[in-house]
Structure 1
Amino acid sequence: MNISDTTFGGTFPFAPHYTHAPGFRMHYVDEGPRDGEVVLCLHGEPTWGYLFRHLIPVLSQTHRVIVPDHMGFGRSETPQDRTYWLQDHIDNLERFVLALDLHEITLVMHDFGGPVGMGLAARHADRIRRVITANAPTPFGQPDLLDRVMANACTSPWFQWITQADAKGSLEAVLGQLGFNILSALKLNGFENNAIISDGWISAYGSPFADPADCLGAIGWAQGFAVGAHRFEAPDAAASQAIRSKPALAIWGEADRTLGAEHFLPLFTAIFPAAQIIRLPDVGHYCFEDAPDTVTALITDFIRQS
């Protein structure tokens, strides 16, 4: 399927936009008034901008909502000669933001969109207005970061599988067929809302991974953890002080089987000790899928009130 122009049964009706600023053809959604305050939504593994389809039409009534697909995900290109480590995604996002000259950015981050977004914040704190994490880690130079990552990996089925599959040499083969086993991957990570599953929904998440050459993004993120290739961005003193003064919100689905709240919410409170944390019982890792109305309302209300 050519997903560049399909709306997946009308569930993703947003006009596609493209830029080559990061050195590849990057897709992004750009909805709402051009002069509106910017909300930048960053997806994770193995999703794409489709994850934010419920949030976009609500916020774009008053804000400019921009949703890029990371390299190797969604409608963005999957270069065959690039690496897909965390630092590559941060570089790509930085080039994207600078090319569009975005300021007064509200970050909305999910999964590995958290480390990517916080990497951008470390480099360009002056462009950030608010920070919203939804089941996303917020690494920002905390001294116990790696200890927390490793402690989480000991209990997370997803990270346990990554480690074992890499050791057995099967990681690339399995994730190279992600278009066929996308539902299994989502369920392993912690997806709870079975009522939403349909052929169109599975197609939306599976079709970007039509063959192994399309799966380098998903493989790279998993493999980068297994081999220790990801590099977290650490802020300098000025960036650290600037970000700590921003309004911030954490939303966490407590049925997350991939990222344990006990391991990662302390990263958030270390930066934003007075910020609100909202825990959602019976909501899994993909909180935007499990509780779209609730999460959309929480984000919208927070932006309006701050």
Structure 2
Amino acid sequence: MIPSDATFAGTFPFAPHFTDAPGFRMHYVDEGPRGGEVILCLHGEPTWGYLFRHLISTLNQTHRVVVPDHMGFGKSETPEGRSYWLQDHIANLETFVLALGLTDITLVMHDFGGPVGMGFAARHPHRIRRIISANGPTPFGQPDLGDQVMANAALSPWFQWIIKAEADGTLEPVLNNLGYNILSTLKLNGFENNTVITDSWLNAYIAPFATAAECLGALGWAKGFATGSHQFEIPDPAAERIIRGKPALAIWGEADRTLHAEHFLPLFSALFPSAPIERLPGVGHYCFEDAPEMISRLIADFVQRT
């Protein structure tokens, strides 16, 4: 686990906060005025709150920006004896949000932060104010979800590798050494902005995965896909009506090699047919690294307009 006071040469200068509410030591950033609107940022695989450092600095003067690290990621604990499926992360997020008493929430979701955030929204739609998907899927009971996921997997080198590696027994040996192959993993998924790579940046993404025991979170997300262990939250009709009425925005880096726009933006538009979509040529899966200023500006402008 990353030391709580690690700032990675000042690139992540935010005070650490911790809660044991979900049954493990969960780290989160909590910046900005306590009376401000809540921006809740949810990361994916294999990143952590560091991904949102530019967005935090953009919004924390006017908004309360809360950025948790999922179980097994970032500065959060990686407990043994826990499962790391989608439904576990949804339950952890629910406990976290309720413990902090967060309401009037703008969800900013990247990668598997999308299904985690939408799972929470299905359970607590009245706590949501806006939905922002940034290269993050928005599953919400759409009837063609399974078809889109499998069609995407047929095009995605990451998902193709997961399926093959699980079948031939190499998934765990590779992901148990994620600290040594983090850059190749990021590149495989779609990371284009090589100019941000410094020793401090690389250390920030290596540090959560120093040992095999600390790779359970990253392994769980991949293994859950390969084995069909993830369970998507299905909203009831009342929750679906509420969420469909929320302001929403999709931002999609079109150089994403893991989550292809052609398969996931239709899921977003089916849920939010009149919502704006910003498609960004040349920007990869890790859009917050590839185009941090542009993404931060798009989100800030959308929040201000709505």
Deviation at 1:300, TM superposition (A): 0.2
Is 1:17 matched with 2:17? yes
Equivalent residues in 2 for 1:179-218, closer than 5 Å: 179-218=179-218
Is contact 1:159-1:258 (8 Å) kept?
Answer: yes
State the partner residue of 2:114.
Answer: 114
TM-score when scaled to structure 2?
Answer: 0.99
Is contact 1:3-1:208 (8 Å) kept?
Answer: no
Is contact 2:32-2:64 (8 Å) kept?
Answer: yes
Is contact 1:3-1:207 (8 Å) kept?
Answer: no
Deviation at 1:2, TM superposition (A): 4.4
State the partner residue of 1:159.
Answer: 159
Is contact 2:156-2:257 (8 Å) kept?
Answer: yes
Is 1:131 matched with 2:131? yes
Aligned partner of 2:262: which letter?
E
Alpha-carbon deviations, 1:235-258, whole Å to 9, x = none? 000000000000000000000000
Off by >4 Å, runs of 4+ in structure 1: none
The runs of 5 or more residues in structure 2 that have no matched partner are none
Is contact 1:42-1:117 (8 Å) kept?
Answer: yes
State the partner residue of 1:142.
Answer: 142
Alpha-carbon deviations, 1:247-286, whole Å to 9, x = none? 0000000000000000000110011000000000000000
The runs of 5 or more residues in structure 1 that have no matched partner are none
- Structure 1 residues 2 and 114: CA distance shift in structure 2, 3 A: closer
3-state DSSP of counterpart to 1:141: coil
State the partner residue of 2:67.
Answer: 67
Query: Aligned partners of 1:178 and 1:64: how far apart in 2?
Result: 32
Alpha-carbon deviations, 1:32-89, whole Å to 9, x = none? 0011110000000000000000000111110000000000000000011100000000
Equivalent residues in 2 for 1:1-306, closer than 5 Å: 2-306=2-306
Aligned partner of 2:231: which letter?
R
Query: Aligned partners of 2:154 and 2:3: how far apart in 1?
Result: 37
TM-score when scaled to structure 1?
Answer: 0.99
Residues matched between the structures, number: 306
Deviation at 1:3, TM superposition (A): 3.0
Query: Aligned partners of 1:223 and 1:76: how far apart in 2?
Result: 20
RMSD: 0.7
Query: Aligned partners of 1:141 and 1:89: how far apart in 2?
Result: 18
